[in-house]
Structure 1
Amino acid sequence: MATSPRTTVEVQVPTEGRCGYFVERKKRFCRMVTAAGRRFCGEHAGAAGMGAEEENIRKRILCPLDPKHTVYEDQLEKHLKKCNSREKPKPDYFIQDINAGLKDETEILDELVPISSLSEEQLENLIKKLRKASNSMNCTLKEQIMSHPALHDVLNDPKNGDSAFKHLKQQASILGNIERLNLLGPRRCFVEFGAGKGKLSHWVDIALQEAEKVYFFLVERVTTRFKVDGKHKKKNSVFERLQIDIQHLCLSKIPVLIKEKLPVVGIGKHLCGVATDLALRCLVETYPAKCKEINEEPEAKRIKNDKTDADNDTLVNEGSKKNELDQRIPVAGIVIALCCHHRCDWRHYVGKEFFKTLGLGPQEFNYFQRMSSWATCGMRETTMETSEINIKKRDDQASDNEDEHEGFRKTDDNPEGLSRLLTVEERKNIGHLCKLLIDQGRIQYLQQKGYNASLQYYTDSFVSLENVLLTALPKQSSTPDSTT
């Protein structure tokens, strides 16, 4: 008769010179180094039931900025100046809500009910409004699926997994479209919005190779691990991360842009709903306005202070030439792969005027942005299981922030309840119309700001369900191919 092996119980003891407090959550002793002759570290002396007198140590209190850690009471003032939880000083390019858009108190909505709670009549009325608004739009987008030699080798690397290959295909096409619009060249400043690890800027840099004076500003509001921009050591290109929400970013306050006056190219891969609107306003509204303020003020002072008429005439002529240059849009172009329309927000949306001309307002917009997620509902039956597995596997170390846009999205539309009213294919078509309507508002906004803008498919739907690219060029520099 076989006997089961005995289980040995490992008895833990604190390491010499380390804290003797047993951390129950971690099932081990604290590993902090203690002062000479002390049993516990300063953090755990109180928790171990040892008074300050008994341990002969100073009293520790909870940090007022973050109660998850403690601090010596007599060093509180010094600690508050260097605590990691303290409010950091804002950079010069931070201006509160500069790209947020106007907040109209009359447009504040009551809490909207879920789409699944709408009556049949209410849902039908929404769909009728959507179809009526869509009748005036060109619902057929041109395909601009491209590639670029910079990614040729890596695209053919057999070590690539399916996910990596799909992202590389998209990056290659975006890079190809940047080149198609004549935006890929020296003396440029590329601003990547929602940069994540910075892979798109990485490939732009590889494509430019030895081009002179190329700057990259990678805008991301959260810290990102496994960044690739830190690996670039080329003398001709400069990478800088701006950890800031696009809502507060003022490009004209960035020293390099002030000094070098290089044309800006705004780029992005899978820029989530509201972030797209904030980026567009940042590029074509607040940045040109601030640049004009900076350029005009010194000129006025110079003309005012001159004494002779001859000098004044010379300066006025020079000033008029300079003003002509300043009137040129400082943004050379925009290339952004769109994403996540269900994360749009009416306050920040740049296409409000477009919606209003169609007789639509914030209430319709908020329902349409929710319904936009239906564009992928046709994939739910086939991707549900895979997506749930991917979500469980995803963590900070393994995922790129853009991965979250590629799979199943949980929304409030309750497909089971809607199936009696709409088929999967009908929901999918309605979702696409919602996306197109929202994007059309962005196109009209860019046109009003002096740009030729267009939408196109930049990759196949099997590579990414979010496969629409927004491109824009100033009208005076648009290529014949850019307006189609």
Structure 2
Amino acid sequence: MASHCELWLPKKKRFCANPPLADSQFCGNHTQRSDSKWILCPIDPSHSVLEENLDSHLSRCPLLKQTQSLTSQPFYQRGINGGREDEEEEENAACKDSIFTSEMKRNAVYAMSAPKFLELIAKIKSVHSSICSKIPESYKIPEACSIWTKTQFDRKVPYQEKHALQQASILGNLEDFGVLKKSGFTCDAIGDSNGELEKDSDISTVVEFGAGRGYLTQMLADCYGIKKVLLVERKSYKLKADRSLRQKESLVLERLRIDIEDLNLNAVESLQGVAYMAIGKHLCGPATDMTLRCCINEHCDGHTSEAATGYLRGLAIATCCHHLCQWKSYINKKYIYDMGLGKEDFNAITWFTSWAVDADHGSELSAVDSSAQFEIVRRSEKKEVVGMESELLSGVGDIVRNMEAIDRAVLGFMCKDIIDIGRLMWVKQQRLVKSELVKYVPLCVSPENRLLLATTMIN
């Protein structure tokens, strides 16, 4: 029997060094199993397993214990914030949990006829001009964050200037919105679970969604007086801010490793009867919609209960990765329908958003005054469409290839605006005092520069 796998590796110019399986010339990675089928692990879909080995794998999957522990928690409720398809689509769906991937969206766009594609582009521009008025720029670097923006903090903490500027502007906008004060997070007197007024105006609890390593909360803890932090993140990270945060004696830190889609925030024991502020930096795709449901508790039934927003005092979500957005989870389908669009159009719009970030367009777009950007591109697009209409026999692929990169980028930003304005309109329909969508950093810092703000406080 060979001492090593018999598969030749051309790039390394040697055989695989792994030991072979019993009664085989190859190792487990290279054994030929043409008659076997690989399927996604039902516990952790990030990896696959042979169908014939599924039963044995389920008993030893690395995430089994974690999943069992999570599902036993009172705040775990599978799919509570996931949204749902339209009823007729849900009945016909082969799999309700299926994800419409970027590749599927791209294929659907390229399968369009040229006239239909051009009609969709025209409709996007029409919707944007009628609904998406100029989104205000709001670049805020508060004095309270100077220890970070001027790099006066502990140098052992991982630091990148562009992230520090984004984090500082998020907090600066919250301060300008009246949610944060220099002395810390403040709120008006609120009712507790028994209807009595809480007189402690120093309540300061923050829930960070999609927390990652937690450095947005780290800056918040260093620069403002907060007492309690809840970090929500589904993945495990190294170099987290948790260790530094736990060294703060007056700060209570709790981290929940859970998907936002499955989090019932009202059932988290540490938040019972507590006013909190919700924050999130770059909540990818559907995570923004799920966070809005989680905080405002609209869920799938379309009704907002009084208790749902009872303790939410402020919200700041930096949206991101719009190309990952899903029709099922999008928070404001009615708005899409009202604009004369549908599910297929929405999927195309989400795919177009990738054009805004597929290259460094910051310098090109920044060179044009923001108020004139779209007018200049609209004029160039009008000329371009005239040329396209004379070549309708060409496919969508040819039309896309003939578009200038800057024109594709601006169309991508238009689509981002349409998606985020829909979210803002949904928030405005809820019982919140004030809400706004702003550009919180320049494009040269990050093309993902939209920030959704809301507050339930009367300033």
Normalised by the length of structure 1, the TM-score is: 0.63
Matched residue count: 348
How far did residue 24 of structure 1 move? Answer: 7.9
Tell me if structure 2 keeps the 8 A contact 1:376–1:465: yes
One of 423, 431, 452 as aligned partner of 2:404: 423
The answer as to 2:222 corresponding to 1:206 is: yes
The answer as to 2:315 corresponding to 1:334 is: yes
Distance 1:223 1:358 in 2: 40
One of 142, 164, 167 as aligned partner of 1:171: 167
Instruction: State which structure, 1 or 2, has the greater radius of gyration over its C-alpha atoms.
Output: 1
The answer as to 2:229 corresponding to 1:216 is: yes
- Which residue of structure 2 lines up, in the alignment, with residue 230 of structure 1? 243
Tell me if structure 1 keeps the 8 A contact 2:234–2:258: yes
Distance 1:162 1:428 in 2: 31
Aligned CA-pair RMSD: 4.0
Distance 2:318 2:61 in 1: 40
One of 435, 438, 443 as aligned partner of 1:453: 435
One of 83, 87, 92 as aligned partner of 1:101: 83
Tell me if structure 2 keeps the 8 A contact 1:107–1:362: no
Tell me if structure 2 keeps the 8 A contact 1:273–1:343: yes
Matches for 1:104-183 after TM superposition, within 5 Å: 104-107=86-89, 113-157=107-151, 164-183=160-179
Q: Secondary structure at the match of 2:454?
A: strand
Deviates more, 1:98-107 or 1:168-177: 98-107
- The 1:231/1:103 distance shift into structure 2, 3 A limit, reads same
- The 1:226/1:285 distance shift into structure 2, 3 A limit, reads same
Distance 1:370 1:161 in 2: 36
1:109-155 Cα distance to aligned partner (Å, 9 max, x none): 89653433433212111112212222322431111101133432343
Deviates more, 1:369-378 or 1:447-456: 369-378
Distance 1:239 1:363 in 2: 43
In structure 1, the gaps of 5 or more residues are 1-21, 26-43, 50-64, 69-76, 294-322, 384-413, 480-484
1:374-412 Cα distance to aligned partner (Å, 9 max, x none): 2234637999xxxxxxxxxxxxxxxxxxxxxxxxxxxxx
- The 1:161/1:126 distance shift into structure 2, 3 A limit, reads farther
Distance 1:118 1:340 in 2: 24
Distance 2:110 2:158 in 1: 35
Distance 1:372 1:208 in 2: 35
Tell me if structure 2 keeps the 8 A contact 1:378–1:425: no
Distance 1:278 1:197 in 2: 20
- Which residue of structure 2 lines up, in the alignment, with residue 248 of structure 1? 262
Matches for 1:198-347 after TM superposition, within 5 Å: 198-209=214-225, 214-232=227-245, 233-258=247-272, 261-286=273-298, 329-347=310-328
Distance 2:257 2:157 in 1: 30
How far did residue 181 of structure 1 move? Answer: 2.0
Q: Secondary structure at the match of 2:442?
A: coil
Matches for 1:60-71 after TM superposition, within 5 Å: none
Distance 2:231 2:157 in 1: 26
How far did residue 353 of structure 1 move? Answer: 1.0
Tell me if structure 1 keeps the 8 A contact 2:362–2:444: no
Given residue 363 of structure 1, which amino acid in structure 2 is its aligned partner? E
One of 209, 212, 229 as aligned partner of 1:193: 209
Tell me if structure 2 keeps the 8 A contact 1:101–1:348: yes
1:16-35 Cα distance to aligned partner (Å, 9 max, x none): xxxxxx9989xxxxxxxxxx
The answer as to 2:441 corresponding to 1:466 is: no
Distance 1:132 1:445 in 2: 21
Q: Secondary structure at the match of 2:451?
A: strand
Given residue 291 of structure 2, which amino acid in structure 1 is its aligned partner? A
Q: Secondary structure at the match of 2:175?
A: helix
Distance 1:369 1:177 in 2: 27
1:132-188 Cα distance to aligned partner (Å, 9 max, x none): 222322431111101133432343349899981111111111111122223221312
Tell me if structure 2 keeps the 8 A contact 1:195–1:218: yes
Distance 1:276 1:249 in 2: 13
Tell me if structure 1 keeps the 8 A contact 2:75–2:263: yes
Distance 2:60 2:430 in 1: 45
- Which residue of structure 1 lines up, in the alignment, with residue 387 of structure 2? none
1:28-59 Cα distance to aligned partner (Å, 9 max, x none): xxxxxxxxxxxxxxxx9x9799xxxxxxxxxx
- The 1:135/1:197 distance shift into structure 2, 3 A limit, reads same
Distance 1:84 1:283 in 2: 27
1:285-321 Cα distance to aligned partner (Å, 9 max, x none): 259x9xx98xxxxxxxxxxxxxxxxxxxxxxxxxxxx
Q: Secondary structure at the match of 1:434?
A: helix
